[in-house]
Structure 1
């Protein structure tokens, strides 16, 4: 859920901080007070298109920041892992700045991200629905995914098995395409791979050779420096009156009194160990500088070899290991091409087996989808009836492509799914996105949301005046439906309907004020008496009378009764 929202220098908003709660939160206020501006800010926070017009006049940038809480298994975690964003305590902070030149800076949990990444993450958190927007639910290419999300565990397992087979199918198809390409292209590829492999093999590379050579080169290039410092180090340790001799004298002095005290004996043993270790190290230093030998010819050989390896790196990889791995890869590809006919025959046999398996799995998917479509149709029909659209006919069309279709198999099977609707009796069924009017569309979308909210996984849903154009019993039905949706997801709703406002768990009033110089937007959380006053204003329009207040209180009482029995 969206827990905190901070907005600075955005449109007419100077500085605004809003806390949100679970359940249903309504935002009301006069037209132009800034309700939709707050929703616009949230839209930008989750990756919406921004521009310099959003930056408050006279300021350098607009800032929007939101704190979200989410469940442990929420899709956001997977998305953040995918983009290398750390997540802790099941919280996420999204931040977006829009400069006066229109450019954006986006962050998720403090990490800079692109706008496209912000959008991907934002879509897992909030779904904004406005009356005139093209929504996810109205996009025909998403209807199949919605139907599948409505299905149960058995269908999910079947789909998972199909997708594994489909991946194998596409892989074999890709290999066959490579082997059956134009003969000239294959011949050119064969020549190229053969040349590359010969070049790498001729070099006779050894693993980690470049690092070993570089280390040897450093020693030869610094021969004089190495010899001098190793020799001086040895001289300081070995000889009369030098370091090793002085430690030996100290050991002898300590040994002379070690029998007097147990603690001194332990110190003597410790010093003796240090002496023998130092003595051994001294001889090792001597061996190191005595073994040094400068060979200018060897240095030239190393430089030539490193240059040869460097040329191969520019072509085949950043390291010797990558070059050798590439050689192994093209060796296998060469074998496949050189034995093309045998491989084509083997792949065709495998392809037919996988295709047959895929066909059986897709048929099972189609059968189950059609059963689920019938169940979904009834569930949505029930929702529409509760919204006083009992004469509206809704259908979930599942059309299976014929095997003659060029792209027969897809990642989700062979089906195409689209929602159809006939708002009035006697009319033919037509695609949902092309049929319903504004008021009807609001109710249909609300009905669909009631069904799919549990399956979409978003933490918050925003309804931006989806109740426009309705009144009376329909308004009451919409209020009850929005409240039911809020039982599974946090819902923020901009409304002009007193019935919806009365159903709120939290009621925020948006008002526009002038501080003498600039216009600012303020948000106030209403208590019980303020709710009565605001709902009364929504009922009467201008003057709030005692009768209007009484009506508002009745609405709140009825809403409370509904919540208690819902």
Structure 2
């Protein structure tokens, strides 16, 4: 539940820190005092849209923070853990800052998050029913979404939409294959010919390195042979050869080292140099033995390099990229062949249709009892909302398969026993729509796991005894959940467990909004104001006290 709301420089609120209680709380006050502004601020903290108009005039930014108890059940806890947003103390703090330029930032438990993350967390914590929410019930999509939510079938509905799109995509591919077979065949033939050319080339990336090395060696074979012969002569042939001189000098230094041990290091160095010179001599001889002028092999390699280069240039890739191009084209051809086979596509389409039918059947099975239950509950509520004999029905009508399932959802109503059920959008008056809409919101809110429910002037258009019944409905709902309600009706406010008065005043030539928690005497005075207007009499106060179930002070 919502425990604390802190607001800074939001519209006409300069600074507020509010501590909330459980049960049903009423927010009352004069029109324009800022009651709905409080809920707007809370909506921002829950991830609602922000704009520069939220910032109090003359201030740089608006800052709103809402602190909630972590709901039981683990859903939000798991989500927070997955997002690496710890809530070790059992509290969740949502914060939103809106700058005067319109830019906004968000935090959860002190960690920066996106607006989408803030909104997702907010969906676990609170539901806000706006004062015009009942008008949305006139739209078919809103009626369908409400039934799906009432049935706990939102995920099923999403799955049906996904499967419908998959089915339709395959159907479109099958139709395209049937209509464009000739053009597709020419494209496949060209691609197959290109793939054949690459396969005939039989080129691998490592080959390119090898043949270029071999080409370089063969192209410079004469120079390599000449250089090798010269090196061999210098290293190992004749009395002036390097190896002979190293051995000769080594013998002399050995004799000298026997006399003077200080030459030991020199002797070791010369011995090592002689060994390395011998090894170099043997390696060079082996290399020279392999060297040969092979014009035929050189011509073969040059033809191979030319062939690879020509194909790479033709398809505008580097030679090393030819194998990857072959793989890409092969996959594309396989896909085109599959798409060009109407029989195969028809089989896939049939499978997708069966998967859609199964998902749609599960959705229908979830919708039917939910529609029956909502019809019964709202009809019962109508009897107490000055619509005796009225009836409400959430009607499911079969329709062609669509992304929304295989039935339409339509809310129908009969305001009195003499009338047949007709679409809600066509027969409900403004007052009736307000009452029916409120009944639907209260009934569907019972199914929600959201711990805090907020109603912003949803009782517009009702009054008298009906308003008292609405208040009792909200009070009953407050026994299961935290309920906040902005209201102008004294009958509704009197049913609340606690009440705040919101008022605006001038301070330093600025209009500001203030919130006052009301004790019983304050509640009597506020409800008397709501009953009697500007001039509050003792009779009005006694009436207010009676509504609250207490005796007014003399």
TM range (shorter): 0.5 to 0.7
Q: Does 1:478 align with 2:470?
A: yes
> Aligned equivalents of 1:461 and 1:345: distance in 2?
54
> Aligned equivalents of 1:78 and 1:51: distance in 2?
31
> Aligned equivalents of 1:353 and 1:21: distance in 2?
54
Structure-2 residue corresponding to 1:39: 39
> Aligned equivalents of 1:504 and 1:326: distance in 2?
73
Q: Give the one of 423, 429, 439 matched to 1:431.
A: 423
8 Å contact from structure 1 (residues 131, 438) kept in 2:
no
**TM superposition shift of 1:452:** 0.8
Distance 1:122 1:339, change over 3 A: closer
Q: RMSD of aligned C-alpha atoms?
A: 4.4
Structure-2 residue corresponding to 1:337: 336
SS in 2 for 1:414: strand
Distance 1:534 1:413, change over 3 A: same
Distance 1:186 1:131, change over 3 A: farther
Normalising by structure 2, we get a TM-score of 0.66
Q: Give the one of 518, 526, 530 matched to 2:518.
A: 526
Normalising by structure 1, we get a TM-score of 0.65
**TM superposition shift of 1:377:** 1.2
8 Å contact from structure 2 (residues 191, 329) kept in 1:
no
> Aligned equivalents of 1:198 and 1:457: distance in 2?
64
Structure-2 residue corresponding to 1:441: 433
> Aligned equivalents of 1:435 and 1:131: distance in 2?
20
Structure-2 residue corresponding to 1:12: 12
8 Å contact from structure 1 (residues 129, 135) kept in 2:
no
Structure-2 residue corresponding to 1:385: 383
Structure-1 residue corresponding to 2:457: 465
Number of residue-to-residue matches in the alignment: 440
Structure-1 residue corresponding to 2:94: 94
After the TM superposition, which residues 357-436 of structure 1 pair with which residues of structure 2 at under 5 Å, given as runs?
A: 358-359=356-357, 362=360, 366=364, 369-370=367-368, 372-402=370-400, 408-410=401-403, 412-424=404-416, 426-427=418-419, 429-433=421-425, 435-436=427-428
Q: Which has the larger radius of gyration?
A: 2
Distance 1:192 1:545, change over 3 A: farther
8 Å contact from structure 2 (residues 85, 109) kept in 1:
yes
Distance 1:172 1:551, change over 3 A: same
Q: Which consecutive unaligned segments of at least 5 residues does structure 1 have?
A: 207-310, 403-407, 560-566
Distance 1:22 1:443, change over 3 A: same
Distance 1:518 1:364, change over 3 A: closer
Structure-2 residue corresponding to 1:245: none
**TM superposition shift of 1:372:** 4.3
8 Å contact from structure 2 (residues 414, 420) kept in 1:
yes
> Aligned equivalents of 1:397 and 1:372: distance in 2?
11
> Aligned equivalents of 1:532 and 1:443: distance in 2?
26
After the TM superposition, which residues 222-301 of structure 1 pair with which residues of structure 2 at under 5 Å, given as runs?
A: none
> Aligned equivalents of 2:188 and 2:103: distance in 1?
45
Q: Give the one of 496, 501, 509 matched to 1:517.
A: 509
> Aligned equivalents of 2:329 and 2:21: distance in 1?
59
> Aligned equivalents of 1:26 and 1:47: distance in 2?
23
SS in 1 for 2:405: coil
> Aligned equivalents of 2:529 and 2:515: distance in 1?
17
Distance 1:180 1:22, change over 3 A: farther
Distance 1:119 1:178, change over 3 A: farther
**TM superposition shift of 1:13:** 0.9
> Aligned equivalents of 1:518 and 1:350: distance in 2?
68
8 Å contact from structure 2 (residues 191, 333) kept in 1:
no
